[in-house]
Amino acid sequence: MDAAHPETQFTRFPWWRRWFGLRAERAAARFLRRQGHRILGRNLADARGEIDLLTLDGPTLVFVEVRSTATRDLQSVALSVNFEKQRRLTQAALRFLQRRRLRNVPWRFDVIVISWPKDQRVPEIRHFRNAFEPVGRFQMHS
pLDDT tens digits, one per residue of 35-88: 999 999 999 988 888 999 999 999 999 999 999 888 888 888 888 899 999 999
How many whole angstroms separate alpha carbon 139 and alpha carbon 58?
25
At the second CATH level, the architecture of 6-132 is: 3-Layer(aba) Sandwich (3.40)
pLDDT tens digits, one per residue of 86-118: 999 999 999 999 999 998 999 999 999 998 888
How many whole angstroms separate alpha carbon 124 and alpha carbon 131?
18
- pTM value surpassing 0.85: no
3-state class (DSSP) for residue 128: strand
User: Where along the chain do its domains lie?
Assistant: 6-132
Beta bridge mates, 125? 114
**Main-chain phi, psi angles of 72, to 5 degrees:** -100, 5
3-state class (DSSP) for residue 82: coil
How many whole angstroms separate alpha carbon 35 and alpha carbon 57?
9
pLDDT at 141 over 50: no
Tell me 49's DSSP state.
Answer: E
